[in-house]
């Protein structure tokens, strides 16, 4: 019983060590002088000889080329975080180094075991019974140690095991955070495009207002309105550019690019309403529980074996499960609400486009003042912004639901 208890303590120490190491890595500057990488660049075993870097890391040549190009896509984020995020890559490298160190130890134990076997045979041949017994015992101890160490290494090499659970949980958390950051970056980029287009229209409108004013077809108020709209658009552009710079910088650093890199940020995937058909909070609860680090940690805590303690723990875990279910159901309702808002925003934009097209014609015919035309343009751009916001919110709501299924959730 003591041996089993010690093993549990050792596992907890290993898990705590990995978590502590990751915490330290995340706390320091996220970008070392040479960004860490967790991918393999050279054969690790004889059977790996002749394989390309893509094959060594389990990717197709096309998929690996996509990860190594100068474009960041939303779909690539999980692989970029795993292979190139400085903190995650360093943690996985340390984990893999531990495996290699243990394998080296196994080889040394095997060599020592063979030495004991030879000494045992020599002692037996020479009739040294005491030495024979001593060497036999040492050989057995070394054999048992080697077997146990090999078993530990085999478990650590599995894709999902207790030893790397903290790392996998941290990786999921970081991945979700990076994905949220890219959603913000992409939304800001789309918003910038709208504002830049508005600035261009307002600049032309200002020039037109000045021309009309010079021939008595517009008032100074028209010119002032056009100028104010143009200056406001330019100010918005400057503000967006400042925010976008910081967001993009953080995003690319977390994905493993250097501080001075300037990769292209691809647009977000369009929201797919069909994803909702696969969502069922009650059925999905099992998966969410299986990935919840809070629940896993709770199960692995030391506890009394008394009946009372078991009942309390059971009730506590059931409460956590129910809280998680409530959160899943809430998020599902958020998804449905976001879809409704998105559909309404699409209809609103269609109506605004019709109004703008009519205003374009009326303004050209002199039937609208500059101020009136500006009002129509503002309504149209507002509808576009509303549509953009609703689309981004709908996409993120579905992503949040999936993140909850993968352990990025609360049980409170």
In a domain, 152, yes or no: yes
Regarding whether 278 and 149 lie in a shared domain, the answer is no
* CATH code for the domain in which residue 408 is found: 1.20.1600.10
Give strand pairing partners of 72.
265
| Residue 345 domain-assigned (yes or no) | yes
pLDDT value at 137 more than 60: yes
Q: Determine, yes or no, domain membership for 262.
A: no
- Regarding predicted confidence, which is higher, 337 or 223? 337
Contact at 8 Å (CB) between 188 and 247? yes
- Is pLDDT at 350 greater than 90 in this prediction? yes
When pLDDT is cut at 50, 70 and 90, the band that residue 304 belongs to is: low
pLDDT category at 286 given cuts 50, 70, 90 is very high
* Residue 147 belongs to some domain of the structure: yes
Q: Which of these three, 160, 186, 213, is where a domain ends?
A: 160
- Domain membership of residue 194 (yes or no) is no
**How confident is residue 37, by pLDDT bands cut at 50, 70 and 90?**
low
Q: What share of the chain is helix, strand, coil (3-state, %, to 5)?
A: 80, 0, 20
Residue 10 lies in a domain: no
Per-residue pLDDT at 141 exceeds 50: yes
Q: pLDDT tens across 6-35, in order? A: 444 444 444 444 343 334 333 333 433 334
Q: What domain range includes position 78? A: 30-160
More confident residue, 31 or 153: 153
> What's the distance, CA 236 to chain centroid?
30
**pLDDT confidence of 308, banded at 50, 70, 90?**
low
Query: Distance from CA of residue 324 to its chain's centroid?
Result: 21
Are 395 and 190 in contact by the 8 Å Cβ rule? The answer is: no
**175 Cβ neighbours under 8 A, 6+ residues apart:** 77, 78, 81, 82
**E strand or H helix at 265, and its extent?**
strand 264-265
pLDDT score for 28: 34
In this structure, is residue 17 part of a structural domain? no
- At 106, list the tokens: 């196994």
Distance CA 344, CA 261 (A): 39
Q: What pLDDT, on the 0 to 100 scale, is given for residue 411?
A: 67
- C-beta of residue 167 within 8 angstroms of C-beta of residue 26: no
Which of the listed residues 108, 128, 160 is the one where a domain comes to its end?
A: 160
Distance CA 97, CA 40 (A): 12
Number of compact structural domains in the chain: 2
What is the average per-residue pLDDT within 134-151?
A: 78
Q: What is the average per-residue pLDDT within 392-409? A: 91
pLDDT category at 239 given cuts 50, 70, 90 is: very high
pLDDT tens digit sequence for 187-225: 888 889 888 988 888 888 888 889 888 888 888 888 898
- Given 123, 144, 160, which residue is the final one in a domain? 160
Residue 299 has pLDDT above 70, yes or no: yes
- Are residues 411 and 273 located together in one domain of the fold? yes
Mean pLDDT of 127-147: 78
Instruction: Kindly state the DSSP code that residue 71 receives in the 8-state scheme.
Output: E
Q: Tell me: do 155 and 280 sit in the same domain.
A: no
Q: Is residue 355 part of a domain?
A: yes
Q: The pTM is what? A: 0.74
Residue with the larger pLDDT of the pair 117 and 257: 257
**pLDDT for residue 12:** 42
pLDDT reported for residue 303 = 67
Per-residue pLDDT of 65-97, as tens digits, reads 888 888 999 999 999 998 899 888 888 878 777
Q: Given a cut of 50, is residue 123 above it in pLDDT? A: yes
HSE-up (13 A, CA, CB side) for residue 234: 8
Greater confidence (141 vs 177) lies with 177
């Amino acid at each position: 019983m003591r041996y089993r208890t010690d093993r549990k303590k050792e596992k907890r120490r290993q898990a705590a060590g990995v978590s502590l190491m990751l915490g330290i890595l995340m706390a320091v500057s996220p970008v070392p002088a040479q960004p860490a990488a967790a991918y393999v660049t050279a054969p690790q075993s004889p059977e790996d000889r002749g394989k390309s870097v893509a094959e060594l890391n389990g990717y197709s040549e096309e998929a690996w080329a996509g990860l190594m190009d100068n474009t960041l896509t939303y779909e690539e984020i999980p692989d970029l975080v795993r292979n190139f995020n400085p903190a995650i890559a360093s943690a996985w490298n340390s984990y893999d180094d531990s495996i290699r160190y243990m394998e080296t130890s196994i080889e040394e134990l095997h060599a020592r075991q063979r030495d004991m076997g030879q000494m045992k045979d020599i002692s037996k041949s020479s009739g040294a019974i005491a030495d024979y017994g001593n060497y036999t015992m040492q050989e057995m101890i070394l054999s048992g140690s080697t077997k146990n160490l090999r078993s530990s290494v085999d478990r650590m090499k599995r894709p999902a095991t207790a030893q790397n659970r903290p790392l996998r949980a941290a990786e999921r958390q970081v991945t979700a955070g990076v994905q949220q950051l890219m959603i913000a970056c992409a939304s800001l980029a789309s918003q910038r495009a709208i504002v830049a287009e508005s600035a261009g229209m307002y600049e032309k409108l200002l020039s037109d207002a000045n021309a009309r004013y010079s021939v008595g077809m517009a008032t100074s108020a028209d010119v002032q309105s056009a100028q104010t709209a143009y200056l406001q658009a330019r100010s918005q552009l400057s503000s967006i550019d400042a925010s976008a710079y910081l967001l993009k910088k953080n995003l690319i650093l977390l994905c493993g690019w250097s501080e001075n890199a300037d990769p292209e940020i691809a647009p977000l995937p369009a929201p797919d309403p069909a994803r909702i058909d696969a969502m069922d909070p009650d059925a999905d609860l099992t998966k969410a529980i299986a990935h919840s680090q809070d629940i896993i940690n709770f199960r692995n805590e030391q506890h009394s074996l008394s009946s009372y303690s078991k009942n309390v723990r059971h009730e506590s875990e059931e409460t956590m499960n129910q809280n998680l279910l409530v959160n899943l159901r809430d998020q599902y309702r958020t998804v449905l609400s976001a879809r409704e808002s998105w559909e309404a925003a699409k209809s609103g934009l269609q109506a605004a486009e019709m109004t703008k097209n009519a205003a374009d014609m009326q303004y050209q015919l002199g039937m609208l003042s500059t101020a009136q035309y500006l009002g129509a343009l503002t309504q149209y751009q507002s509808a576009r912004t509303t549509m953009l916001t609703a689309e981004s919110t709908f996409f993120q709501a579905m992503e949040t639901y999936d993140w909850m299924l993968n352990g990025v959730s609360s049980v409170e």
